[in-house]
């Protein structure tokens, strides 16, 4: 795996357009697919801890709206009786990665902290530890920290030389396949995404909100995902045909739609339905974004002026309808020249890409209007964006009626899930049900009510 593959992995976790990934080959091919009953029932079997237990059952103690005291008061009471939190997986990896970088990199190298944080992300994502959606959240933070790390002299301005120096440091975004920190470990690129998809399935398919996926709920959810993928493929193909002018009348579109639907149904026979789960997870993935810079718009702008590649037919110099050896050689030479030109433009575009992203960030975080983004402004921007992201995620998973806030009744349901050990109560998405989830819920509710 080279540097571009690592960057592509992080981008796949971050960009809602990751739907393209799920429609490609290979996703979900591992034996430990997210849709297996053991992995997707919604129970945290290793941390199934009952917070309230007076013999009457969690639902008797939590969901009765006639109990005395408000829901938030009961949440505080639960926090006071909860057990000790475990050390987050990512934190443990970060300490090990930081120790390794400090021992093996020059102390004055500007990318040491960034390398350690990316190593920790990759270790938590690819290692043998339990996977959790939090790794995707960490990846979003790494994306922003990478951009901040480019300003090596700390003057709040990013220049071309700083970007070039960053791109030349091949370990700044390390390759887990060759990096000595990993000592030849094997890696599973799909693990972090699988954890996100499994949580999104649990939230979407648990229609009776009991915190557990029944067999019927899994079957209905998987069927809905399958149908969503078919419709996505059909609509995409129809839109392409319409742009190409291949049909004009609605009747034509209907006929083509039926044909395409049958075609895609046949092509998906025997495919594990967990492979289409990103269609379910797109809202959760979008909420995990930290700095939602217009990446697609920037890339489109940068590539919009690329010249067209040479056309084979245009090398029929004598117009006889055949391409002879000399004409074919001229076409091959033109292709080589085109590839070299695109490669050169690509190098310039990569630098320009980072510069444009920096300028967008300046527009968001330059609080004193000096057209710079000083380290303190970066810190303040990241803290604010993290708060906004956490609030988005809280609403995605716990605003069950989608009215824009988490009500007392929805909070009671969350506490019910927590008492039963359901992963729907995993407020911080770290794959564990513990007191930290209750504390985070209280923080988000306090911000909601500000």
For residue range 142-193, what is the model confidence (pLDDT) as tens digits?
888 888 999 999 999 999 999 989 988 877 777 777 888 987 676 665 666 7
- Could you report the per-residue pLDDT of 83-124, keeping only the tens digit for each? 666 666 778 889 999 999 999 999 999 999 999 988 888 887
Rounded to the nearest 5 percent, the helix, strand and coil shares of the chain are: 60, 0, 40
C-alpha distances out from residue 204 to 60, 88, 201, 220, 273, Å? 25, 26, 5, 11, 15
Instruction: Give dist(CA 396, CA 384) in Å, integer.
Output: 19
Mean pLDDT of the chain: 75
Structure tokens at 202: 């649990």
DSSP one-letter code for 367: T
**Are the C-beta atoms of 312 and 331 separated by less than 8 Å?**
yes
User: For residue 43, which phi and psi values (nearest 5 degrees)?
Assistant: -100, 135
Phi/psi region, residue 321 (left: phi>0; alpha: psi -120 to 50; beta: rest), is left
Q: How many CB atoms lie within 10 A of CB 440?
A: 18
Give the residue from 445, 426, 357 showing the smallest Cα distance to 131.
Answer: 426
Choose the weakest-confidence range: 21-35, 210-224, 289-303, 370-384: 21-35
**Are the C-beta atoms of 176 and 187 separated by less than 8 Å?**
yes
- Could you report the per-residue pLDDT of 7-42, keeping only the tens digit for each? 333 343 333 333 332 223 333 333 333 333 334 566
User: Percent of the chain having pLDDT more than 90?
Assistant: 32
- In this prediction, residue 389 has a pLDDT band, given cuts at 50, 70 and 90, of very high
Mean predicted confidence (pLDDT) in 289-316: 62
Choose the weakest-confidence range: 137-146, 150-159, 304-313: 304-313
User: Which pLDDT belongs to residue 63?
Assistant: 39
**Are the C-beta atoms of 199 and 396 separated by less than 8 Å?**
no
User: Which pLDDT belongs to residue 432?
Assistant: 86
User: Which pLDDT belongs to residue 10?
Assistant: 38
Residue 334 has pLDDT above 70, yes or no: yes
Please state the pTM of the whole predicted model.
0.71
Which residues in 231-247 are b (16+ Cβ under 10 Å) and which e?
ebbbeebbeeeeeeeee
User: Which pLDDT belongs to residue 370?
Assistant: 95
Instruction: Give dist(CA 255, CA 260) in Å, integer.
Output: 9
Instruction: Give dist(CA 416, CA 209) in Å, integer.
Output: 10
Instruction: Give dist(CA 139, CA 291) in Å, integer.
Output: 11
- Per the model's pLDDT, the better-predicted residue between 118 and 326 turns out to be 118
- Per the model's pLDDT, the better-predicted residue between 278 and 296 turns out to be 278
């Amino acid at each position: 795996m080279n540097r571009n593959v690592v960057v592509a992995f992080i981008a796949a976790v971050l960009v809602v357009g990751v739907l393209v990934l799920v429609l490609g080959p290979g996703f979900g091919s591992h034996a430990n697919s997210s849709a297996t009953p053991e992995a997707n029932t919604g129970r945290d079997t290793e941390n199934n801890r009952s917070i309230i237990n007076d013999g009457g059952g969690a639902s008797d103690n939590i969901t009765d709206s006639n109990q005395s005291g408000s829901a938030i008061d009961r949440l505080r009471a639960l926090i006071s009786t909860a057990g000790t939190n475990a050390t987050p997986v990512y934190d443990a990896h970060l300490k090990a990665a930081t120790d390794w970088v400090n021992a093996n990199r020059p102390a004055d190298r500007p990318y040491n902290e960034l390398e350690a944080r990316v190593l920790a992300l990759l270790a938590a994502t690819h290692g043998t530890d339990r996977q959790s959606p939090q790794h995707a959240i960490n990846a979003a933070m790494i994306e922003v920290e990478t951009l901040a790390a480019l300003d090596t002299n700390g003057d709040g301005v990013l220049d071309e030389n700083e970007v070039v120096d960053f791109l030349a440091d091949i370990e700044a975004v390390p390759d887990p396949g060759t990096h000595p920190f990993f000592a030849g470990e094997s890696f599973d690129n799909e693990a972090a995404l699988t954890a996100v998809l499994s949580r999104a399935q649990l939230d979407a398919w648990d229609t009776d909100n009991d915190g557990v996926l029944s067999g019927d709920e899994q079957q209905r959810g998987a069927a809905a995902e399958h149908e969503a993928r078919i419709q996505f493929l059909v609509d995409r193909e129809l839109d392409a045909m319409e742009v190409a002018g291949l049909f004009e009348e609605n009747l034509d579109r209907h006929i083509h739609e039926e044909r395409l639907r049958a075609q895609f149904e046949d092509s998906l026979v025997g495919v594990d339905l967990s492979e289409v789960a990103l269609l379910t997870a797109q809202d959760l993935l979008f909420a995990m974004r930290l700095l939602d810079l217009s990446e697609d718009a920037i890339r489109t702008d940068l590539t919009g002026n690329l010249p067209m590649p040479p056309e084979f037919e245009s090398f029929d110099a004598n117009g006889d309808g055949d391409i002879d050896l000399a004409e074919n050689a001229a076409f091959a030479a033109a292709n080589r020249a085109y590839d070299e030109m695109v490669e050169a433009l690509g190098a310039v575009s990569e630098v320009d890409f980072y510069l444009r992203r920096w300028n967008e960030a300046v527009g968001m975080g330059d609080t004193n209007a000096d057209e710079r983004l000083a380290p303190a402004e970066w810190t303040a921007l990241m803290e604010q964006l993290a708060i906004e992201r956490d609030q988005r995620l809280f609403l995605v998973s716990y605003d069950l009626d989608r009215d824009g806030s988490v009500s007392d009744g929805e909070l009671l349901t969350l506490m019910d899930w927590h008492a039963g050990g359901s992963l729907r109560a995993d407020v911080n998405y770290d794959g564990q049900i513990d007191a930290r989830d209750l504390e985070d819920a209280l923080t988000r509710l306090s911000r909601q009510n500000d």
